[in-house]
């Protein structure tokens, strides 16, 4: 059971914080006392090194950074251009890498440890056809998560990733109207797992890819 005060006054970044999942995560963290910072997509391009560095440098020392920013595209291999592949890589992997790097610099300033939570995707663990570029990009996020968990252990910075299936959002419902939406994990449910991994109550878990599939 959470002690909500554990997040009281702690500074947390949530990239992609204006989306369906991001909104649920932000609301939960704020309810538990965290001070949440959400990069504005109109002014901060987290796939650009200068933008990411400037954004994080302008914040107070962080306790946690949660990387939800990303994008999805589906196409057969022979219909995927190099530009398509590179776009998925930059949107998912590069944004995660830069946010993690800058968050670690911020956490080290505070010298009090910290938490990083990333989001990869089920096709990384359970491959699916027609998603080569997306799967490769999210696999990069998974590998980065596990590599950082080892590298940052001495700093007491724990690094994990959640691995959702299709999330129950209005956009996903509209694109798959015949699916069993009740089986999909809900943003508020995923937020609970993410909030735990980002909290001081998570004192041991690092380097994990946590499946959060619901019944999907």
Catalytic residues: 134
Phi, psi of 60 (to 5 degrees): -65, 160
Q: Which residue has the tokens 């910290």?
A: 114
Distance, in Å, from the CA atom of 93 to the CA atom of 140, rounded to the nearest integer, reads: 6
Distance, in Å, from the CA atom of 85 to the CA atom of 77, rounded to the nearest integer, reads: 10
* Contact assessment for residue 92 and residue 138, using Cβ atoms and an 8 Å cutoff: yes
* 111: exposed, middle or buried (Cβ count in 10 Å: 0-12, 13-18, 19+): exposed
* Contact assessment for residue 67 and residue 95, using Cβ atoms and an 8 Å cutoff: yes
CA–CA distance from 158 to each of 30, 90, 94, 104, 116 (Å)?
21, 24, 20, 11, 6
SS3 (DSSP) at 65: strand
């Amino acid at each position: 059971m959470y002690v909500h005060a554990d997040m009281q006054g702690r500074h947390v970044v949530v990239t992609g914080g204006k989306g369906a999942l991001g909104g649920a995560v932000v609301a939960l963290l704020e309810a538990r006392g965290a001070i949440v910072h959400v990069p504005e997509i109109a002014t901060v391009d987290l796939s650009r090194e200068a933008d990411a560095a400037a954004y994080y440098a302008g914040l107070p020392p962080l306790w946690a950074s949660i990387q939800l920013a990303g994008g999805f595209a589906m196409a057969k291999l022979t219909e995927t251009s190099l530009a398509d592949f590179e776009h998925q890589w930059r949107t998912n992997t590069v944004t995660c890498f830069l946010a993690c790097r800058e968050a670690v610099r911020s956490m080290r300033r505070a010298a009090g440890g910290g938490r990083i939570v990333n989001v990869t995707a089920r096709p990384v663990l359970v491959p699916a056809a027609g998603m080569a570029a997306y799967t490769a990009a999210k696999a990069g996020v998974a590998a980065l998560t596990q590599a950082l968990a080892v590298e940052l252990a001495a700093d007491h910075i724990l690094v994990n990733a959640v691995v959702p299936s299709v999330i129950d959002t209005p956009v996903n419902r509209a694109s798959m109207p015949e699916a069993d939406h009740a089986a999909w994990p809900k943003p508020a449910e995923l937020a609970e797992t993410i909030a735990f991994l980002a909290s001081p109550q998570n004192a041991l878990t690092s380097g994990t890819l946590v499946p959060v599939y619901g019944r999907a």
